[in-house]
């Protein structure tokens, strides 16, 4: 897609009267979002069902299958499309590190930053600019929320994306899902084989969520397999070998 030219401020300084126009030109719009096409049958299934009258998705299964990337793409596409009811994408994660690294320094914003990096990279890829994630946050189109700080929140007119939900116990998963308000859509993404929960955090609520989803017509569960791995041939062969050895 064509990119808008941004004024070089070093060779042609912006005059005060031009500042507002330049600020507006930096706003991200739907036309700035790259077009992404599904590459596997399950990716296509998600794309086909997304725009139907389905309120909640569970995308689960093998890593490297595009679950996170495609969820953010479709969510941002909806948020930036002016004709939809969705105003913002809410990304939620339970702040559980892969390995024990102790207490992260800084305030809540600084602590969350470590978990936001994957989404910054995805936004940079989708919009072709490194500041896309921060721009979307400034425009109130995107917000990152730690699952530990949800009490009292209600998300209306939002697409709520609960990422790595296998790293949350059933209590936390229930807390997240019950935040869903009117005119909102829910996407949960995870892989039960990649849980980072330790004994002190409780047991993953992954399978409880699948049981509940099967009882609700509002949910669609899409299970990604090694056939859907697109990250690289090496990653695909590695995951296949791990699954063959049950590791």
DSSP 9-70: TTTSPPPGGGHHHHHHHTS--GGGSPP----SHHHHHHHHHHTSS--EEEEEE-TTSSHHHH
Tell me what pLDDT residue 95 has: 75
DSSP 8-state code for residue 247: -
- The three-class DSSP label of residue 139 is coil
For residues 233 and 77, give the distance between their C-alpha atoms in angstroms, rounded to a whole number.
Answer: 29
For residues 91 and 85, give the distance between their C-alpha atoms in angstroms, rounded to a whole number.
Answer: 18
Instruction: Give the count of beta carbons closer than 10 Å to the beta carbon of residue 84.
Output: 15
For residues 224 and 99, give the distance between their C-alpha atoms in angstroms, rounded to a whole number.
Answer: 25
pTM as predicted = 0.84
Tell me what pLDDT residue 247 has: 87
Question: Which residues, 6 or more positions from 241, have their beta carbon under 8 angstroms from its beta carbon?
Answer: none
Tell me what pLDDT residue 114 has: 80
Burial 87-125 (b: 16+ CB within 10 A, else e): bbbbbbbbebeeeeeeeeeeeeeeebeebbeebbebbee
Cα–Cα–Cα angle for 77, 81, 83, nearest 5°?
140
Q: Are 222 and 56 in contact (CB under 8 A)?
A: no
Cross-strand partners of 189: 59, 163
pLDDT one digit per residue (tens) for the chain, 247 residues: 443 333 333 434 444 544 444 455 579 999 999 999 999 999 999 999 998 989 999 999 999 999 999 999 999 999 999 999 999 999 999 876 544 444 555 555 666 788 899 999 999 999 999 999 999 999 999 999 999 888 889 999 999 999 999 999 999 999 999 999 999 999 999 999 888 776 666 799 999 999 999 999 999 999 999 999 999 999 999 999 999 998 8
For residues 28 and 21, give the distance between their C-alpha atoms in angstroms, rounded to a whole number.
Answer: 14
């Amino acid at each position: 897609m064509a990119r808008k030219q941004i004024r070089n401020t070093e060779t042609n300084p912006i005059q005060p009267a031009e500042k507002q126009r330049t600020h507006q030109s930096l706003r991200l719009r739907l036309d700035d979002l790259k077009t992404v096409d599904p590459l596997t049958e399950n990716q296509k299934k998600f794309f086909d069902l997304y725009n139907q009258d389905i309120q909640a998705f569970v995308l689960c299964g093998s890593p490297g299958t595009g679950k996170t990337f495609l969820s953010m793409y479709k969510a941002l596409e909806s948020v930036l499309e002016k004709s939809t009811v969705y105003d913002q994408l809410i990304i939620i994660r339970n702040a559980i590190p892969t390995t024990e690294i102790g207490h992260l320094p800084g305030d809540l914003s600084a602590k969350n930053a470590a978990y936001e990096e994957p989404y910054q990279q995805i936004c940079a890829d989708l919009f072709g600019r490194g500041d896309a994630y921060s721009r979307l946050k400034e425009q109130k189109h995107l917000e990152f929320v730690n699952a530990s700080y949800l009490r009292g929140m209600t998300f209306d007119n939002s697409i709520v994306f609960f990422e790595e939900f296998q790293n949350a116990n059933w209590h936390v998963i229930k807390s997240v899902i019950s935040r869903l308000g009117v005119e909102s859509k829910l996407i949960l993404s995870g892989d039960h084989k990649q849980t980072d929960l330790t004994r002190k955090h409780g047991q993953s609520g992954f399978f409880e969520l699948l049981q509940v989803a099967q009882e609700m017509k509002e949910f669609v569960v899409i299970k990604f397999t090694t056939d859907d791995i697109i990250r690289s041939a090496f990653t695909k062969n590695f995951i296949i070998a791990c699954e063959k050895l049950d590791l």
